[in-house]
Structure 1
Amino acid sequence: MAERRDWDQMGAASGLLATVMFVIAFIMFMSTDPTGDTPYPSIENAQTVNDFFSQNPNQIRLQVLFTTLGIALFLWFLGSLWRVLSEAEGQSARGSVIALVGAGAGSVLMLVGLALTYSVLLTTSPAQANAAPALFTCSAVLFALGGGVLSLFFFAVGKVILHTGAMSRWLGWLALLTAVLSVLAFTSPFWLSGVLNPATGALGLWTWWTAFVVWLLLASLVLTFREYRRPEEPAKSGPVPTRPTTEGAGA
């Protein structure tokens, strides 16, 4: 039981590590001076992506790396969260399953988007350089769609928390708010520029992404404190073996 308790505590705390990864990735992004003379491209001016990436190759690589690590740690945290929610729901655990599927599908889409972003940095020929704007556009759209799919995760988590009391109710309401903001990511592929574009938009990217990271931080803190305060389960003991008796032998 002690080993399971250790794994539960590490899983709960992995959300905190994921938040750290996301913060470092944001610092790397800001170090590229995204609003400078050569700004980070929106979908409308994706043709400038080669210039921007060539000026900041290492920062972009680190941004992709730390964001990828953060998503991987989020999936580890998801295992601990799913256990808490499914135990609170009981045998059906429908909401917990929807949350698990939504988080997994959203994470896969975001990881594919990050892979396409990284592939822009690997251009070694004029033909590949010509394809960079299309790859950049695809990466932004896939990342946004991943955020949209995460709305299923947040709606389900909020529903389970509010109906079962599995965690603090305020965390459930915050999950529902994050779900509404994540739905905006579904609209971002239709916008080339402005606040809803998926590459640089305030509503198309930054609002739902910030809400996701903040919720993850708070949920991980709550779950980590809960796991450390949970009393350790006593070890299960099997039945005491009995020695065969010889009374009555030969009777």
Structure 2
Amino acid sequence: MRPTLVLLPGMDGTGELFEPLLQALPATQPVLVLRYPLDGPQHPAALANWVGPQLPADRPFVLLGESFSGPVAILLAAAAPPGLQGLVLCASFARKPSRLPAALAPLAKVLAQLPRPTWAVSAALLGPHATPALRERLTGALAQLPPAVLAARLQAVLHGDVRAALRQTRLPLLLLEAQHDRLVPARCQRELLALRPDAERVAFAAPHLLLQCAPQAAAQALLAFVDRLVSPCAAAQSAAR
């Protein structure tokens, strides 16, 4: 049996934006999409505690953290839950991607209350890859996000730093990098590689939402990663750890 691919969503927290990737994955690849709660703390440690009990307990799995969820996935991987065989970070980071000081985090509450122009959000997340269908899916997902929750997640990004946890991880790591990312700069990918020089990196000519804009290529990279994890060679290496 192939390991289940557990998908942790980006800032929207709905998991609905994974649909293009789900359509690109074969039926033989088990997938579990998680959705974040709209109440309670929204920082990575709290969300990791919320996700933990929902992880597969009776079968192996691979954890993917998209963007905002990268730190959540890192904290979970550092805790080494039974069955976890690999970690994937997609267009993500180990600490705040913005150069803005954390002292400006209170402004997140103000920004979250402002109207969200569709064109600006689309340009930032989808770039020239935007299609009517993708824009509609993105708008629908973000519309479900209350301003208070958005503000809490923005603050979590500005304050977060899970570099120490990433150093503790020993599982195979795959980095999916969006080369045309307007939100997460390339230095974040360099930092991830500096913390885990053994990580595998696959770059895509895509914007921040690379799983949505390049689903076929992303699916191929994920399947290849999972295949290597279940190969006899990978199993031997895992047993030797």
Instruction: Give the TM-score taking structure 2 as reference length.
Output: 0.24
Greater C-alpha radius of gyration: 1
Q: Structure 1 or 2: larger strand share?
A: 2
Could you state the TM-score of these two structures normalised by the residue count of structure 1? 0.23
